[in-house]
Amino acid sequence: MENKKSIRDRIDFIRSFGRQHRYASIVILLFLALVVYRAGHFFLKSEVRQPEPAVNVIVASVKRMPIDVISPVTGRLKPSEEVALFPMATGRVSAVYVSVGDSVTVGQVLFDIEKGQVGSTLNQARESYSAIASTYARMEMLYAEGAVSLQDFESAKAQYIAAKESYNAAAEAYANFTVTSPIDGVVTSLSVAVGSLAGGAVAGSVAGTDGLVIEASVGEALAPSVEIGAGVGVYIDSLGREYPGTITAFSPIPSMGMLTYPLTITMDPDDALFAGMFAEVRLVSQSIPEALCIPSEAVIIREGKPVVVVLQGDDIPELREVVPGVDNGTIVQILSGLDEGERIVSTGQHFVTSGIQVRVVGERP
């Protein structure tokens, strides 16, 4: 009886344990099935590679055209004429009639200096000259009639000449106290004011408005290519564009103590140009009337050799070795390796692989 009871108790325990852990067993089985499925999918699926997109490029044509080698020379725009105001008299300024930036004409009064005794000296010289001139005129008439001797006439003449010179000197000294503009132009500086002391130093300056020039110099290598009267391009950095100019002066002799040759470029009139602007004069040092050319950036270096990417049919690129010639930074002459009319890659060539098709997204003129 005890054995039967013991067996029955074991069967009841197993049934009770199964009922209590049934759900946990189901969860474990489902998890193991999921792991097996994911592992099989990972190892058994075939890998599919997407094709790489074509490289975008911009192309250009191989053309025959003139090519110039440009040698830049720097300088600054300055007035074609600028004159310093240096008062010849010394004294305190009594009146100022202009300001910096005012337009003036030749002979226009800019400022006055107190005249003091110089006015009295001029009046005395004028009166003396007037009296002696009258006496000389009378003596000249009497001498012509034979009424006075040659000695008396010569004495009167000498007095007249001396009086005239004294009067002229006094008038010139008086005029020095009035400072006028020596040229037509614009007042560019003025360092005097009413009550200030003038004389013995530069008091200002006036610049002409007829034109602007650039004074520069070139070395011996560039000197043979300079020609008076030749037109040049002048790039103004602050304006971001090029303006025309003309070589108007050139010295075949170097400046004193220098090894460079001075030249002057005169600018064509333009309201956008102002004195003081930084300028780059673009001199043509070498000119080839006709050459096989491509954009300079189209030439790249591969394995130490200059090559160009040439497009064949269906836009298939080919890396072709070339022999470059003159290069002005914009276009380059090709001595061999290319034929006129061929299409080459000018942008995107660094990312091209020979034989793999590219996508043309633009073309340079």
pLDDT in tens, 165-182: 999 998 998 999 999 999
Nearest of 62, 51, 58, 54 to residue 353 by alpha carbon = 54
Q: What are the structure tokens assigned to 307, written together?
A: 């090559």
For residue 299, what pLDDT band results from cuts at 50, 70 and 90? very high
pLDDT tens, position by position, 74-91:
999 999 889 999 999 999
CA–CA distance, 258 with 158 (Å, rounded to integer): 54
Specify whether domain 71-80+210-288 bears CATH 3.40.50.1980: no
Q: Per-residue pLDDT for 26 more than 80? A: no
Asked if residue 331 lies in contact with residue 69, where contact means CB atoms within 8 angstroms, the answer is no
Residue ranges of the domains in the chain? 1-47, 56-67+289-363, 71-80+210-288, 83-113+181-209, 115-176
Average pLDDT over residues 45-68: 81
The dotted CATH code for 83-113+181-209 is: 2.40.50.100
115-176 has the same fold as 83-113+181-209: no
The dihedral region occupied by 16, where left means phi > 0, alpha psi between -120 and 50, and beta the remainder, is alpha
CA–CA distance, 131 with 144 (Å, rounded to integer): 20
The dotted CATH code for 115-176 is: 1.10.287.470
The CA distances from residue 272 to 236, 240, 275, 309, 324, in Å, are: 10, 11, 10, 43, 39
Average pLDDT over residues 108-126: 91
Beta bridge partners of 306: 301
Q: Per-residue pLDDT for 30 more than 70? A: no
Does this model's pTM top 0.85? My answer is no
CA–CA distance, 344 with 312 (Å, rounded to integer): 9
The second-level CATH assignment, the architecture, of 56-67+289-363 is: Beta Barrel (2.40)
Provide the pLDDT for residue 46.
47
Q: Which residue bears the tokens 């009871």?
A: 5
CA 178-182-187 angle, to 5 degrees, is 90
Q: Per-residue pLDDT for 19 more than 70? A: no
